Structure 1
Amino acid sequence: MKDAKELLKNLIALPSINPMGRADLPPKLTGESRVAAYVEDFIRKTGADLITQDTGGGMKNVGGMICRGSKKTILLQAHMDTVGIGENLRLLMPEERDGKIYGRGACDDKGSLAAMLSALQKAAQKPAGDYNIIVMAVTDEEYTWAGSRTLVENQPTKDAWLGIVGEPTGCRLVNGYKGVARFALETTGVAAHSSQPERGSNAIYRMGRVLANLEEYSAELTKICDGTLGCETLSVGTISGGEAVNIVPESCKIEIDRRLTRKTYPEEARESLQRHLQERGLDFTLSPLMDAQRAALIEETHPGVQLLTDSCRRAGISPKPITVAFGSDAYRMNNAGIPTLLLGPGSIDVAHTDAEHIPVSELEQA
């Protein structure tokens, strides 16, 4: 029987970088197929019923189910993909030191996956229980969410009574998370030779005026607050424009990330921004929503929250639920009608960094 620590080290050593649309990354480092094969083999050995779901591109969700004849199913989910490693191949070599395990995916999200697989292994030895249990390892959380979309569209996962998504929450139970709205904004100009800029119209200069207004708008958003989820935010995450230094740029594009409370729907966020900039006479084009998920709060009175708080208390973890600003696959599960909580070992503060790690104590608690 493998423990969670051994499982995590094995998972880290299997590269599963999400290429996020890039074609220049080595195939031996990208995709979830290696992790999926490992998980599938592990689940077969537990005796749990195997579940596979095709998510496209040759990838698949893999999971195990223990059916106890209950009308209620608890769905535990963690994702197999990770962000990239740059040139740092050491991130694929799990290292344990000072009570922590280091490596890419240690906390986001292979620590949660290891804990869930370990729990499935133990549950398989106890066929009696109040709930059916499903543990799913899903694809593509870091980019287009193909795994979670497939999860909520197919049996037996789509009819779960309660969802638990593994994310690095420091083993704190999360019952609320902000919504998100993402879109692109583009300004256009007229190209000309840079020695005669007066013959053109500079799209980057136009974007500069937009950005100045967005900074002011962002400050106003901090006044839209929710007593549980905090205040709304706006962040410009990417910018691109121009072809060459000797050409007046004819286009410039930014991508915007809005985090929302329950007071604002994603489409309202887009329309509000568009109206704000138009009223100031700015010339731009705003894309349709590229991602749109509503904020969620699962009330503490919900039986699923009470079940998890009791479990946390028995495990010596603080039972008081908290809320977070970051997003996860829980969005899609909750919006599909599965009340979904977050709980997992590790800290979001070190996710996606070269110092990514997870405390062994939290892994064992989870």
Structure 2
Amino acid sequence: MRELVELTKTLMSFRTMHSRPEEIRRCADFIESYLRDIPVTVQRMDCEGIPSLWVIPTKGRVPVLLMSHIDVVDAPESLFEPQERDGRLYGRGSIDDKYAVALSMTLLKEHMQELAAQGLSQDALSFGILITGDEEVGGYRGARAALPHIPADFAIALDGGSFTEIIVKEKGIVRLRLTARGKTAHGARPWLGVNAIEVLMEDLLAVKRLFAVETDDHWHRTMNIGIVRGGSSVNQVPDVAEAHLDIRYTENDDPKALVEAVRRVVRSHVDVLEQEPLFFGEAAGPVETLMRLVPEARLGRAHGASDARFLSQFGIPGIVWGADGEHSQHAEDEHVIIDSLVQLYETLRRFLRLVGRV
């Protein structure tokens, strides 16, 4: 287990933010070298500068695919210096998602050693791994581009949930840009203009009323105003302003109807920047085997989205599961509980022997 923790630390030291694309490629190079030293045949694809790596059986289908990613959200330099204290590993990427990359690499190394001891090769490998580099910015050049090349029967996205919560449902995403238009004038004579920022503010209040529902479990549509831009001079009435909205919706919503509802209540022009489906995972078959191994586990749902949403697009049943990070993803105190990482590792070893026939 010490090797697993130390490998996680090494991966965390790479500043794999999308503001540092060379670090994402450098981390992928390190992983590729590690995997080739096992040794295994590694497939690498670079899609518009985003690296993806996968190792699968050289023949036939993949009974179980373990998915993870190396990219992280922006953070100060100090968060790329891993710290262990109180049974937790702190730093950017610890829970999202470098521990899962290290876990996949270590499991693969161990199982290839076992196969070699039996005189077998990668032909006999009964699970595979996929490591991508763009989950934090949508996964379009990573998981979505790579999955068509991987004939998997079942997948585990090691990127959410917790050891006792197996995610089988994630909200869908709609991202909008509202562009308000006005008329410019001198700031000393605002009555001669139309302030685009004020138009946008009124529109945002109108949109918020479409998301007024609140429940204890928050399993309802939500809207976050993530970006607001407008104006270039304090003494000028701005003639354009824009806002970017992050909408998450459930199975009770029609995303197209939501967009039309927004258009009806605003004066701004509405552009749909992104629309992604809900993730509906598997609750039978391999999942039943997993729940027998973790009797305290329950099936759950997540408000966020992950690369798991691409699985259904390619006909691959799957789940989202992982170690415990106490919901610290993207936070300054991001961390993974080391004991849960050990539990996850041991449980996956047993699960792969049962389902993957390793």
**TM class by shorter-chain length?**
0.7 to 0.9
CA RMSD of aligned residues (A): 2.5
Q: Give the C-alpha shift of residue 351 in structure 1.
A: 1.3
For structure 2, the 5+ residue unaligned runs are: 345-358
Structure 2 CA distance for partners of 1:265 and 1:305, relative to 1, 3 Å: farther
**2:153 aligned partner:** 161
Q: Deviations over 1:50-82 (max 9, x none)?
A: 11112222x311122245x66453211111111
How far apart are the structure 1 equivalents of 2:231 and 2:280? 43
Structure 2 CA distance for partners of 1:12 and 1:174, relative to 1, 3 Å: same
How far apart are the structure 2 equivalents of 1:325 and 1:30? 31
Q: Give the C-alpha shift of residue 97 in structure 1.
A: 1.3
Alignment of 1:195 onto 2:184: no
**2:131 aligned partner:** 137
Alignment of 1:264 onto 2:266: no
Q: Give the alignment of 1:230-269 within 5 angstroms.
A: 230-269=219-258
Q: Give the alignment of 1:112-131 within 5 angstroms.
A: 112-127=100-115
Contact 1:71 1:131 in 2 (8 A): no
How far apart are the structure 1 equivalents of 2:218 and 2:84? 35
**2:5 aligned partner:** 5
Alignment of 1:285 onto 2:263: no
Aligned with 1:297 (options 265, 275, 280): 280
**1:63 aligned partner:** 54
SS at match of 1:292: strand
How far apart are the structure 1 equivalents of 2:31 and 2:54? 8
Aligned residues with identical type, % of pairs: 24
Structure 2 CA distance for partners of 1:52 and 1:362, relative to 1, 3 Å: same
Structure 2 CA distance for partners of 1:319 and 1:125, relative to 1, 3 Å: farther
**2:294 aligned partner:** 312
Deviation >4 Å, runs of 4+: 69-72, 128-131
How far apart are the structure 2 equivalents of 1:344 and 1:119? 14
Q: Give the C-alpha shift of residue 147 in structure 1.
A: 0.8
Q: How many residues are paired up?
A: 336
Contact 1:174 1:321 in 2 (8 A): yes
Larger helix proportion, structure 1 or 2?
2
Alignment of 1:147 onto 2:147: no
**1:46 aligned partner:** 38
Contact 2:57 2:124 in 1 (8 A): no
Contact 1:15 1:92 in 2 (8 A): yes
Q: Deviations over 1:149-170 (max 9, x none)?
A: 21123x2x2x211121111422
How far apart are the structure 2 equivalents of 1:329 and 1:206? 36
TM-score, normalised to structure 1, is 0.84
Structure 2 CA distance for partners of 1:125 and 1:321, relative to 1, 3 Å: farther
SS at match of 1:337: coil
Letter paired with 1:13 = S
Aligned with 1:346 (options 286, 299, 324): 324
**1:73 aligned partner:** 63
Structure 2 CA distance for partners of 1:101 and 1:343, relative to 1, 3 Å: same
For structure 1, the 5+ residue unaligned runs are: 20-26
TM-score, normalised to structure 2, is 0.86
